[in-house]
Each structure stands twice: as structure tokens, then as C-alpha cells.
Amino acid sequence: MHSRRLAARRLREAAAEAAFLRPHPEQRSNGDETTYPNRIANYSKGLPHDKLGEVEPGPYRAMVRALNSTQPEHFEEIPLAGPRKLTSPQAGLAFDLEGPDAQSLAIRPAPRFASAENAAEMVELYWMALLRDVRFTDYEKDSLASEAAKELSGLTDFFGAKDADGKVTPKTLFRGTSPGDGVGPYISQFLLRDFQYGTLRVTNRQQTVQPKVDYLTDYDAWLGAQNGAELAGTDKIDTETRRYIRNGRDLAHYVHFDQLYEAYLNACLYLLQNLKAPVDPGNPYVASETQDGFATFGGPHILSLVTEVATRALKAVWFQKWVVHRRLRPEVFGGRIHNEKTKKADYPIHPQVLDSEALARVFKGTKHYLLPQAFPEGSPTHPAYGAGHATVAGACVTILKAWFDESHPVPDPKVPNQDGTKLENYTGKDKDRLTVGGELNKIAANIAIGRNMGGVHWLTDYTESIRLGERVALGILEEQKETYNEDFWFTVQTFDGNTVTI
């Protein structure tokens, strides 16, 4: 037993040394906080604001002071304007005993406030709001979706999904950018298929909300939200009829209330019990004639591992949110655009959003230039960049891609019927090309971009954050590899399409 005790200590010391030797990249913001002393480009929701929705200097300085000092008592001294509290600003200061330290990872600086890229992302968000009630299966025949694709194709520095010719089309509209995201139906099969949870049969039919109900579309409600007011209303539930996810509003409602690892735990259950997907060829029990995996490399192992990474991913992204970037939410940028267009203020906003067809259509419908929100409260009370949902998606999906054979087909793809009450066969030409890896990439994109469809996140909040979560998961797998007696390896296709072996 003494030798085991020594071996356990050596293992922990080796893991600590490996973590210590990982490079700690420089943490760089986009510099907007310095460029604009009135903090028009930074997060400030919940603090006191003036009539333009610009934050009062003192409370903002108090928030930054607390984040820089890391003293818990300083966080209690941040002045708030209303009842809504700041969400977990100390989370990124926590340490973890497994995987990369929360502060050892970085994402690129966010697009700058005045940039063409930021404007292009906002144009996409206006189109998402306009198309919330259009079924994903109707995009290729819907005139409004065609207009959205055409305008996005013409924007400089728009880096969303495009076809082989570099164009946004109704088929690529609002899709993810990783391998498999553009194949088959918009919604991943793992968000549609019923699955077994032990002896329970669980349906993926969801509660939905009424169409054409948006929030924070008038200036007083918008300003109240910046000052931490309570909800601008309550979710208007459609009916008691549960439906499969049909459109952007359904997807936004799902990600409004989901538990952060929920979709990936459900996907894991479907892969294990319904699809009976083969595991990665590097699983040590694939070729064993005498053993099955269980406590290690079996069902209980993956079901706990896919959820284990979520809290570590959150700490990593919460450091980026609060300490490094403090990027404003799209909701706030919509207020800046409104003040610019109504000549209440003079802001350096790129003309490709100010002159966009999407913005003109939103104004025609609401008489304001604000970004219509799908949630009564608008955005959460923490900064935009990166995104918690997207980082957790990247981490959990990376674990699933490591565990299962990504090349295994997902047969007989389905889509919701007209009213979402049943599933019917998908008949597209690419119906035989769906794979486990592609549908896992797609579910990560669906969940992350679903938050964009709600109006609370940006395109780069998705693209950068899934890769942040991926690095968290790969680091955890690397450290855990040394703890097992079995001889094994994992192979993962990354969100960029590269192959990594652990």
C-alpha cells in the first residue's frame, strides 16, 4: 500500500508539472475600453446609466477595481442601479485541480466597436430577429431568408457559414462553421430524436412560446433593462402542445432555460442506447475478448465525463468575460445604433449596419432601431465575450467526439412536420451523409447560435468560444490519460477540421 501511496503522489505531481509547463498566452482585449472613456463599447448592464444608456463612470470604475483587486469585499461595493445582480464575476478567479487553469487559455480580441466585422455580426443578428418565426425547413423557399443571405453575402468581414463559392445562401444561413454543420437538416438529430433514460422514454418535444412576441423594442424598456430593472414581461407560452424545434424562436426558448450540459448528456444517451454507436477505435475494450468497459471506458464513465467538463469550461470563459474583454451585448449595441440613427448621440458605428436592409426592416416593424430580444429580460447580467453556452458546448462535444467513432453514420434523418408535433423523413440530397461527428458539431452550433437567435450573443461569441471549450476538454483528457491502467488513445477531429490524438 505504501508503494501505491507514493505512486498516487507522483501521478499528481506529474499532472501539476504538466499543467505548469503549459504556455500561458498573453491576454489581450480589443482596446475599446481605453479608446472610448465613456465605455460605450463595454459591458455595464445592471450599473447606473444616463438617459443615453451610457454607464456612470464611478460604478464602472468600482466594477473594474473589484475585478483587478480580486478582493471579495470590493465586489460587494459595486453600485447597482436596480434589483438585478451581476452574474458570478468572481468565477474566473477560481482555480481547478484538473485540466488547464482558467487563466491559462485565451481567445482572440473581440471585433472592435467601430469595425466592419462588428457591424456585419449585428446585421446578422437583426436578420435572425426578423426570421425567428420562419421554419428552418422553409429557409430555401422563403423570400425573407433569401434577402438575408444576399445582404450577408455582400458585407465585408462577415465570417459566418458560406458555400463553396464563398456566398451565404439560404442553405448556409445561420449555420455553424465546423465540419458537418452544413450537411442535412439545420437542427442536429440529437436535438430531435427521442432517447432512453434508463427505463424512461424521453421525447425531445419542447415547450414553445407564441410567435411574433419580442421584448425591449421600445427605448424606455431598453433603458430600464440597462439599469437592472426586473423583467420587461413574461414568456408568452404558446399552448400546452409540445413541439420539436422548428425555428429560431423555438431554439432560443430552448437555450433560455436549458441546463448547460443538458443537450450533450441527452446526445450521449441517444448514442449509447438508441443508436448504439461504436466507440472510438482507441477504446481499450474494442478488441478485448475477455473484458467490457464499465467503471472505466464504459457507459458510467462517459456519462459522468461529458458533464464533468462543463463547470471547468465555465470558469475559463468567465475569466475571459469579466477580466479580459468585457464586451458589450448586442442588446446594448442596438441602443447605440438607435441613438446614432435618431441623432441623440454621435458614435463611430460602421455604415454597413446603419445602412442595412435588416435595420430598415426592424425599424419599419417597431419604429425603433433596437435589436428585438427573444427573452423578456434581454441579455444576462454578464459580458458577452465569450459565451458560456458555446464554451460548454465545445467542451462537452469534444468529449463525445473523443469517445465515439465520429465517422459512424446517423441514418434516416428527420425534421419536424409543419406544426412541430411529429417528425418526418428528411429528403434532401445529402440525407445519407450525416455522421456522428458532424451531428455533434451541429448540436454545438445549434445551442451556441440559438443564443444569438435570442439576441444575446454575437457570431464570434460562438466561433471563438467552442474552441475555448475544446481546449479545456483536450487538456482534461491529456491529464486523465495517465491515471488509467488500460492502454488506449482517443482521436478527435477539432472544430477547425484538424485531427488530434491523445
DSSP H helices, 272-350, are 299-319, 330-341
Examine residue 386 and say whether the peptide bond preceding it is cis (omega within 30 degrees of 0). Answer: yes
Q: Cα(182)–Cα(298) distance, rounded to whole angstroms?
A: 31
Q: Take residue 7 and report the three cell numbers written for it.
A: 505512486
- Catalytic pick from 49, 325, 389, 457? 389
- Residue in 350, 382, 408, 457 annotated catalytic: 382
Write the single-letter amino acid at 481: K
Which residues contact residue 35 at a Cβ distance below 8 angstroms, ignoring those fewer than 6 apart? 41, 112, 113
CA atoms 440, 325, 380, 89: torsion sign: positive
Phi, psi torsion values for 382, nearest 5 degrees: -155, 160
Active-site residue flag, 389: yes
How many Å is the maximal CA-CA distance in the chain?
76
Q: In the chain, how many H helices and how many E strands?
A: 16, 6
d(Cα 457, Cα 213) in Å, to the nearest integer? 19
Neighbouring-strand partners of residue 206: 243
Cα-Cα-Cα-Cα dihedral sign, residues 37, 43, 48, 51: positive
Residues sharing a CB contact under 8 Å with residue 242, sequence separation 6 or more, in sequence order = 203, 205, 206, 207, 208, 421
Q: At 349, is the secondary structure helix, strand, or coil?
A: coil
Specify the DSSP class assigned to residue 107. -
The residues, any chain, with a CB within 8 Å of residue 203's CB and separated by 6 or more, are 194, 242
C-alpha cell at position 174: 445561420
**How many Å apart are CA 132 and CA 457, to the nearest integer?**
15
Task: Looking at 208-247, list the stretches that DSSP marks H as alpha helix, in order from N- to C-terminal side.
Answer: 219-226
Secondary structure letter of residue 40 according to DSSP: T
Catalytic annotation, residues: 382, 389
